[in-house]
Amino acid sequence: MMEGGKQYCADSVAVVTGAGGTLCSRIAVDLAAKGAKVVLVGRTREKLEKTAAAIAEAGGVSRIEPGDVTDEKVVQAIAERVGLEWGPCRYLVNGAGGNNVKAMPTRLRFSEADYAPTADFAKDRGFFDIDMEAFRSVLEINTLGTVIPSRIFGLQMARAGGGVILNFASMNTYRPLTRVAPYAMSKAAIANWTMFFAQYMAPAKVRVNAVAPGFMVNERSKQYLMTPDGGLSARGEQVMRHTPAGRFGEADDLLGCVNWLLDDSASAFVTGITVPVDGGFLASAGV
């Protein structure tokens, strides 16, 4: 939104976790283009450097803060450095998250094979074969990886007079898609957490919402939605049959919704909601 020629987030501090990923790197670049000073948080410095380079090329301002968002001490240290050097966080985008193939069965339904341990974990595994440490790690990154930054930066916002937090939900928030039980559990939890924290932080003038991307094109999704030659995999075909828009989403498809939810002049009375950006996937029963 433009206000007297000035963007809503100009000269404010925006923290983006998972800023090396396809979706959140684009959000970070967009916020920087609007004049925000963007803090890029993620586990892999090399990925963050690519995002920082894109921001610098466009004339924006950013800083790289590598770290694990499930480590409270690490996030607290980042918040203190940013607060001291740049000022308090005004916008927090909780984009860090992920899945783990070791927590994903290859078989979709219970069968006689579930009674015995799998002979080849890489190619054939049921739910009872999956690695529970991997299961736990998925829950942790997607839940605590949102809660911890929200606690730390949310308190910083409250002390500064307000702010906006944007969480990342998923199509799994609404429907537990096959093979991704821990991911689905954690993304369902994000919608619940968003509502809880929104009502808790309302007196502090901190709004909390979430966006639920549909099937977006990124490096991870290409592995299961597409074939090596760029065609659709069997799973990709299933998704496409349930997507009225007839295509996968791109990172830019999120920007309108993200900016609306972050902009106090556009969504001042909006808090505690999760907005699907999915090409109609949730509206389609497939029949």
Residues present in the chain in total: 287
**d(Cα 159, Cα 161) in Å, to the nearest integer?**
6
Catalytic residue among 8, 91, 174, 183: 183
183 is catalytic: yes
CB 50 within 8 A of CB 43: no
Q: Are 123 and 104 in contact (CB under 8 A)?
A: no
Return d(Cα 245, Cα 277) in angstroms, integer.
11
| Catalytic center residues | 183
